[in-house]
Amino acid sequence: MTVTVMCDGRQTLSTARAAQELELRTGEFELATQLGEVRTVPAEPDRRPGSAGPPARRRVPAEEIARLQAEPGFPESLRARVRAVTTNEAAALMGIGPGRALRLTRAGCVGPVRFYVNRFGAVVWLYLAAEIAEFAEREPELLRGNTPAAMRVMLTSGQDWRARQWRSRRVAQLMGRAEDPWESAAVIAAVLPPEELASVAEDPLERDLLRRLRPVLASMITATPAARQAFERTLTAEEFDEVLWYRVNLSRSLETARREDPGRVRPGRPSSRGACQENSPVWTSEARNLLPRR
């Protein structure tokens, strides 16, 4: 029997139970929620003045389960939309060699949706099979013949856009889920190096709040020292232009949070939340809009 819990007057399921109902493995379900294929809601939203705990756990509305189960071809159709493939598998889908597929992904032609770190500390990137197929259909000239000169220069110089594209996509996903301006700021802060965060959020109380609100960017299973170091590096922006982009957006988000909800950091101060909404930074669900293009 399916156990449900009422949230805001609606029946909801735990994520574990929802995954069972949708016949998805844990990784598939996690990706489905990140991509918006499975809609979730906060389990116990806390909007009390001065509240500063981590974002609430998510649950899945019962009607969302029913909607997906009623889709033609369920569950295979849902699984196909969240199917993630390695670089070698992507190469096979595009009908090219693994080396060329690696160059295309390093150049940012297709952004990864997930990653894991093996016990040797190597990052293994995963891509949506549907996005790989769409790219191959849209850009057939990049699959054959000589690599474009600009791309060759980029790759020769050692550039690799995979990590920054994953961070961009993940930030966009979490920004779309943020419930208030401080949570929005915490999402951006999560990908900045500590010293960069401290230089933007100079107030120790604000930094403490951002740390407590920090969302989970990715989960890690392997815990060898080499894997842990590689995992942390992948979560953190490194290149100058990427760091600068997040610094600018964090500064704007903090200005909005301070103006709309100053009591979150210092309880007792009056809150002007809801005012000046037109000045709030706008974030879209498209990862490409979060970073400057080449």
CATH code, domain carrying 95:
1.10.10
Residues 59 and 173 in one domain: no
Kindly tell me if the per-residue pLDDT of 127 is higher than 60: yes
Return the pLDDT at 293: 41
Same domain, 253 and 219: yes
The reported pLDDT for the residue numbered 222 is 66
Which of 37, 58, 82 is the C-terminal boundary of a domain?
A: 82
Segments forming the whole domain that contains residue 145: 83-159
Number of structural domains in the chain: 3
Query: In the prediction, which pLDDT does 281 show?
Result: 37
Arithmetic mean of pLDDT over the chain: 87
Q: What is the pLDDT of residues 73-106, one digit of tens each?
A: 999 999 999 999 999 999 999 999 999 999 999 9
Residue 171 is predicted with a pLDDT of: 98
Q: How confident is the model at residue 177 (pLDDT cuts 50, 70, 90)?
A: very high
Based on the fold, state whether residues 144 and 167 are members of the same structural domain.
Answer: no
Instruction: Show Cβ contacts of residue 225 under 8 Å, excluding neighbours closer than 6 positions.
Output: none
Q: Does the pLDDT at position 164 exceed 50?
A: yes
Tell me, yes or no, whether 285 and 173 share the same domain: yes
Residue ending a domain, choose from 143, 159, 175: 159
Do 178 and 276 lie in one domain? The reply is yes
In this predicted structure, what is the pLDDT of residue 270? 52
Q: Taking residues 188-213, what's their average pLDDT?
A: 97
49 within 8 A of 38, measured Cβ to Cβ: no
Output the pLDDT for position 224: 85
Lowest mean pLDDT among 10-14, 195-199, 276-280: 276-280
User: Tell me: the pLDDT tens digits for 236-293?
Assistant: 999 999 999 999 999 999 999 999 999 898 776 554 444 333 333 334 333 344 444 4
Give, in degrees to the nearest 5, the angle at Cα 213 between 207 and 219.
Answer: 115
The first and second tokens of residue 27, run together, are 């990784």
Same domain, 193 and 220: yes
Last residue of a domain, one of 66, 82, 98: 82
Please tell me whether residues 55 and 179 are part of one structural domain.
no
Q: Are 113 and 126 in contact (CB under 8 A)?
A: yes
Once rounded to an integer, what is the mean pLDDT over residues 159-174? 97
Q: Are residues 21 and 61 in the same domain?
A: yes
Name the H helices within the chain: 15-21, 26-35, 62-69, 76-81, 87-94, 98-106, 129-138, 149-156, 162-177, 181-189, 194-200, 204-212, 225-235, 240-260
pLDDT score of 70 more than 60:
yes
Claim to verify: residue 155 and residue 169 sit in the same structural domain? no
Q: Provide the 10 A C-beta neighbour count for residue 202.
A: 10
- pLDDT above 70 covers a percentage of the chain that reads 83
What's the pLDDT at 217? 97
pLDDT at 280: 35
Is 178 in the same domain as 212?
Answer: yes
Same-domain status, 292 and 167: yes
- 6 with 102, same domain? no
pLDDT of res. 283? 42
